[in-house]
Amino acid sequence: MAETFDLVLKGGTVVNHDGIAPRDIGLRNGRIAAVGSLGASAAGEVIDCTGLHILPGVIDTQVHFREPGLEHKEDLETGSRAAVLGGVTAVFEMPNTNPPTTNPDALADKVRRARHRMFCDFAFYVGATRENVDDIPELERLEGSAGIKVFVGSSTGTLLVDDDPTLERIFAKLRRRAAFHSEDEARLRERAGIRRPGDPSSHPEWRDEIAALTSTQRLVRLAEKHGRRIHILHVSTAEEMAFLAEHKEWASVEVTPHHLTLVAPECYQRLGTYAQMNPPVREDRHRQALWAGLSAGIVDVLGSDHAPHTREEKDHAYPQSHSGMTGVQTLLPIMLDHVNAGRLSLERLVDLTSHGPQRLFGIRNKGRIAVGYDGDLTIVDLKRQQTIDNSMIASRCGWTPYHGVTVTGWPVGTFVRGRRVMWEGEVLGPAAGEPVRFYEGV
């Protein structure tokens, strides 16, 4: 008797843990029910994926969707709309909102706002503060918690924790892998005078490689002392990459598409403050070191660090201009273009965006195409050429640093738990996002 499925994806090339091969995928009750040749199977719907590649759903483990409190530049609905347009099926969102996500009530409020309003699945980091250290074991295990995020260097928001006594207390309490914005705050304060008014190219001179390296060395020492797993976000320097290569026992590594793609000083000459990020986009020797670290396997995951600001906020004269850029919608197109240029394999991209997040953070039922897993799938046309345009950007701020850039490789379909939520540039409702589930938590 032939099997029956809710949906069968026919004729696509599946990219997964066992390689790249033509396979059909059968979905039932939101999960993957079969992978292989399903020629005689019955299905409620069949989608012809001939000529397309099917990837495990892309998981973006660093986004800022700004809700609550900063909805003038993004909210959970608009951010998730941008995510699924970019082939992203789940996101980890950051705590520097207003009010910040630092207690059970604030986390529960975000989960309530997101459930069945976001188009992708979601988890939320909880910001560590001097006041909530004793609550960390509880905060790590609540529904929708991606774990603890610590801002060791100042960025957008008020969640700075840079003193040794508090960091020691935080490390002693951690159980899950915690994420860190790693820049040395004392050095940033000392060097603030290096910023040249009106010149964003001085941003990486101020927030230099020593500020990044000193902080990352400090965090690794604490991780080794306490036996805790840490995740260094948006690594941007050659010095950090060389150091982290020798300290992988406790520290995992994220890089971003913009640090792999943009380069100083050209990006500041071309984009001005629209290239301004924390940590900064740096000169080519750093970019080359990030690629070398990616090729060597030092890098564990890609995150977009999607951090939207309005044009008005970006148009302030440096350094009053805000640091951050959009990225969740362009993460996959930019990286597929790098795949087509031969800078990394498609299998390595899948490891960075699906298998890697699942492995590092203990995500349940996501991150691979296998029977019994959630039907989270990203379908791409590797051959499609597309010019990225500001008008495509679903983020409320409506701009991208890649405006006018032509890429090869494009997401054409996004499935979340078996539901088609995007096809050929159209978001399909209703929104049905649910909290990501973890082995060490809910």
- Whose tokens are 């499925």? That residue is 5
What angle, rounded to 10 degrees, do the helices at 76-85 and 104-114 form?
60
Q: How many CB atoms lie within 10 A of CB 384?
A: 16
Q: For residue 127, list its beta bridge partners.
A: 149
Contact 285, 206 (CB under 8 A): no
162: helix, coil or strand?
A: coil
Distances (CA, A) of 428 to 27, 81, 221, 394, 416: 18, 10, 47, 14, 11
Nearest one of 64, 135, 131 to 97, comparing CA atoms: 64
Which one is catalytic: 208, 305, 351, 376?
305
β-strand pairing of 145-151 with 178-181: parallel
**Does 24 qualify as catalytic in the annotation?**
no
Nearest one of 280, 297, 318 to 241, comparing CA atoms: 297
At residue 259, what is the residue type?
H
CA gap 159, 95 in Å, rounded: 8
CA gap 377, 54 in Å, rounded: 7
379: helix, coil or strand?
A: strand
- Catalytic positions are 305
